[in-house]
């Protein structure tokens, strides 16, 4: 039996890794490889599929609101553990019926669970790391998002020819149930004192409001760039007629393979960006990540060959989760006594983008028959984010 006794850094980070594979990879990102299957086998269209993604992000934003305004560490721990259960329940719930209302409810509560894993879980782990005197870096923990994407793609690829859409959702829920065990038992209950293990006081140092506002704006831009690509990447690849024709007999001729590439690239990304930030600083590292991310977003509009799409998937996977990790860890360090609270506030700006962008992209794609315009918009807004990051470099923080 797994136990919470004598927590070690490796156990705690592994608990966080499993929580993100569950709440992000299973409860959230499994929708990306399953969206084309549901569009083929059910009544879902580009627009209605986009709205389901928007509903999921609305749930995530509501969870971010909760994280932003709760300071009690014990309550955060309780909500984190509830989020693990909700992640499994909402995934099973997708199999209950071919009913849009049911799917809306399930995607909304799945969004709540994602916030529990990404924000509450990350905040609890960062708080534990700081208290124990470990480096305040979450690269290994955030690697769970990349692993989750890779797992969701691998599972979808293995089932694509054997199971229908509801059976595939059920398989994801079984994987999720197994992940609950380490995610629950290896994250210790939080210490509610304001002292580290050495007796030093945890002191918060809030940046200026104008500096934080610019950071919120930059993160909003990252949210737009991320969500359009993450929601529709598999569908974009599967709709590339030239790619489909050239790979008719290939096992790689579908978007799930590209989604797997994204996950594999994202898995070590946060550790890599932690090292880059250590050398040049978070803001410069973020500027570079934004630039690389733009390239990954835009190049599929210029060339739909398999190799270009693989490059796009690698660049996107390598950067989007690195941006999230750097942003959340940086703002959490300003408030070591309650890192989940500022993480939640920062995520609200990301969440606004996640609510508005998927539905917009889906409607534009349905009207034009192409995802080119939404991808160009995403790239332009990411460029605007680079402008905000440049201003932050020269703006007084305190």
pLDDT in tens, 13-66: 999 999 999 999 999 989 988 888 899 999 998 788 888 988 998 898 899 888
User: How long is the chain?
Assistant: 398
pLDDT band at 6 (very low <50, low <70, confident <90, very high): low
Asked, for residue 4, whether it belongs to a domain, the answer is no
Longest dimension (CA), the chain: 65
Tally the domains of the chain.
1
Asked, for residue 372, whether it belongs to a domain, the answer is yes
Work out the average pLDDT over 74-94.
96
Q: Output the pLDDT for position 252.
A: 44
pLDDT band at 245 (very low <50, low <70, confident <90, very high): very low
User: What is the average pLDDT score of the chain?
Assistant: 86
Question: Which CATH number belongs to the domain containing residue 81 in this structure?
Answer: 1.20.1250.20
pLDDT in tens, 307-322: 888 898 999 999 999 9
Asked, for residue 196, whether it belongs to a domain, the answer is no
- The β-bridge partners of 201 are 195
pLDDT band at 100 (very low <50, low <70, confident <90, very high): very high
Q: Output the pLDDT for position 246.
A: 47
Asked, for residue 278, whether it belongs to a domain, the answer is yes
Asked, for residue 76, whether it belongs to a domain, the answer is yes
Asked, for residue 2, whether it belongs to a domain, the answer is no
Q: Output the pLDDT for position 273.
A: 94
**Are residues 358 and 321 in contact, defined by beta-carbon separation less than 8 angstroms?**
no
Calculate the alpha carbon distances from 312 to 96, 236, 254 in Å.
Answer: 35, 12, 15
Distance CA 382, CA 174 (A): 37
Asked, for residue 3, whether it belongs to a domain, the answer is no
Q: What are phi and psi of 195, to 5 degrees?
A: -120, 150
Distance CA 377, CA 390 (A): 20
Assign residue 204 a region: left if phi > 0, alpha if psi is -120 to 50, beta otherwise? beta
% pLDDT > 90, the chain? 44
**Which of these ranges, 83-87, 113-117, 366-370, has the smallest mean pLDDT?**
366-370
Distance CA 299, CA 307 (A): 11
pLDDT band at 89 (very low <50, low <70, confident <90, very high): very high
Work out the average pLDDT over 168-193.
92
What is the domain range of residue 14? 9-190+202-394
Q: What are phi and psi of 366, to 5 degrees?
A: -70, -35
Which of helix, strand or coil describes residue 86?
A: helix
Asked, for residue 364, whether it belongs to a domain, the answer is yes
pLDDT band at 155 (very low <50, low <70, confident <90, very high): confident
Question: Does residue 1 carry a pLDDT above 70?
Answer: no
Q: CB neighbours (10 Å) of residue 282?
A: 20
Question: Does residue 241 carry a pLDDT above 70?
Answer: no
Question: Does residue 251 carry a pLDDT above 50?
Answer: no
């Amino acid at each position: 039996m797994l136990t919470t006794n004598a927590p070690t850094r490796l156990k705690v980070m592994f608990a966080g890794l499993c929580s993100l594979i569950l709440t992000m990879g299973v409860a959230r990102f499994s929708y990306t490889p399953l969206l084309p299957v549901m569009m083929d086998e059910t009544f879902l269209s580009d627009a209605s599929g986009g709205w389901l993604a928007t509903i999921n992000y609305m749930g995530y934003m509501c969870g971010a609101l909760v994280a932003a305004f709760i300071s009690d560490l014990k309550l955060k721990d309780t909500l984190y553990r509830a989020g693990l259960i909700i992640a499994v329940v909402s995934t099973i719930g997708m199999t209950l019926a071919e009913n849009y209302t049911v799917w809306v409810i399930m995607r909304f509560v799945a969004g709540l669970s994602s916030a529990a894993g990404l924000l509450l879980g990350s905040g609890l782990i960062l708080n534990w790391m700081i208290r124990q005197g470990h480096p305040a870096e979450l690269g290994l923990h955030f690697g769970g998002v990349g692993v989750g994407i890779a797992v969701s793609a691998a599972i979808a690829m293995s089932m694509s020819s054997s199971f229908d859409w509801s059976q595939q959702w059920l398989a994801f829920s079984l994987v999720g149930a197994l992940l609950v065990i380490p995610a629950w038992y290896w994250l210790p209950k939080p210490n509610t004192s304001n002292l580290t293990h050495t007796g030093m006081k945890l002191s918060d140092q809030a940046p200026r409001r104008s500096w934080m506002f610019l950071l919120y704006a930059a993160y909003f831009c990252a949210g737009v760039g991320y969500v359009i690509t993450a929601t529709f990447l598999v569908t974009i690849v599967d709709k590339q007629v030239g790619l489909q024709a050239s790979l008719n007999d290939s096992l790689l001729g579908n978007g799930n393979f590209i989604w797997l590439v994204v996950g594999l690239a994202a898995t070590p990304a946060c550790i890599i960006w932690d090292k880059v930030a250590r050398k040049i600083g978070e803001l410069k590292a973020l500027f570079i990540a934004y630039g690389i991310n733009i390239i990954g977003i835009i190049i599929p509009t210029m060339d739909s060959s398999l190799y270009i799409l693989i490059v796009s998937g690698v660049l996107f996977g390598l950067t989007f989760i690195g941006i999230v990790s750097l942003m959340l860890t940086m703002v959490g360090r300003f408030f070591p006594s309650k890192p989940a609270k500022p993480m939640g506030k920062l995520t609200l700006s990301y969440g606004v983008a996640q609510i508005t962008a998927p539905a917009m992209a889906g409607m534009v794609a349905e009207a034009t028959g192409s995802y080119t315009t939404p991808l160009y918009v995403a790239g332009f807004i990411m460029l605007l984010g680079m402008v905000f990051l440049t201003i932050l470099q020269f703006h007084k923080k305190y």
